Amino acid sequence: MSLLSSTPDSETGPVADDRRVGLLAEITAGLGDAVAATHLIPGKDLWVRVNTADWLTAGRFARDALGCAYFCFLSAIDWLPSPFGKGEDDPTEPPPERSTAIEQGFTGGATRFQLIARTVSLQRHVGITWKVDVPDDLVEVESWVKVYAGADWHERECWEMFGISFAGHPGLRKLYLPGGFEGHPMRKDFPLLARLVKPWPGIVDVEPLPVGADDGGEAE
C-alpha cells in the first residue's frame, strides 16, 4: 500500500518523478537520434516521439532494453480539425468558416496522422506513451507485430479506421467493418453520418413560443 497521497501537486510525488526522469534518461541514451521529442508530466505520464524510420527500433528497445513486456494499445490520432465541427451545423445555412490548421499535441510533430502506442513495464510500475509521425505522402509505418504479438489486431483496426498501412504486418484486413465498406471512418473528413442524415435536434426550436411572450430570444 503506497503512502503516496493522490493530490495532484505541483511539487511532484517524488518517487514517480524519479522513475520517469530516470526512464527518460535511459531512452535518450539508448535511442539517441531516434528520439524526436519528449514530454514529461511529473507524476502522470511520459511521452516520447520517435522518428518514423525508427519506429520498430523503438518498439524493440522498449521491450528488450526497458523491460516493457506489457503491450497496452496502439492507435492513431488524426490532427486535422473536423470540417463538420461537432455536427451541430444548421443544414439551412451555409457551413461556418472553420480553421484547418493542423496542430499536434504533446511532443509536437509535422504530419496529419500520428500513431500512439503504450507499453508498460510491470517491474518498474511505469508506462511510456510512444508517438510517431505517419508521413503524409505514403501513409505507412512499420508494424510492431514482431515485437508485440498483440499489435496485430490494433494495427488492423488502425488500418481500417484511419487508412494507415503497416509494413510487415502478416495480413491487414478489416476487423470491425463489413467487407464492402468504403472509406476510413475515423478520419476527420469522414463525416459522422448520423448527424448528416438527420440534423442535430438542438439547433432548431421546434415549438413556437406562446403568444404574448417577448422577443423570441431563442431563434437560431
Residue among 34, 152, 159, 169 that touches another protein (CB under 8 A) = 152
Q: Are 160 and 174 in contact (CB under 8 A)?
A: yes
CB of 72 to another protein, least distance (A): 6
From residue 63 to residue 92, the character string flagging contacts with another protein as x (rule: CB under 8 A) and all else as - is ------xxxxx-x-xx---x---xxx----
CB of 71 to another protein, least distance (A): 4
Give 146: exposed, middle or buried? Use CB within 10 Å, 0-12, 13-18, 19+.
Answer: middle
Residue among 8, 91, 95, 216 that touches another protein (CB under 8 A) = 8
Q: How far apart are CA 18 and CA 4, in angstroms?
A: 14
Q: Which stretch binds another protein (CB under 8 A): 22-30, 90-98, 116-124, 210-218?
A: 116-124
Measured from the CB atom, is 8 or 216 closer to another protein?
8
Residues 158 to 217: which contact another protein by CB under 8 A? 161, 174-178, 185-186, 192, 195
139 counts as binding another protein under rule CB under 8 A: no
Q: How far apart are CA 133 and CA 50, in angstroms?
A: 8
Q: Determine the distance from the C-alpha atom of residue 178 to the mean position of all C-alpha atoms in its chain, rounded to a whole number.
A: 24
Say how many residues touch another protein, by CB under 8 A: 48
- Torsion on CA atoms 85, 79, 141, 162, rounded to nearest 10: -10
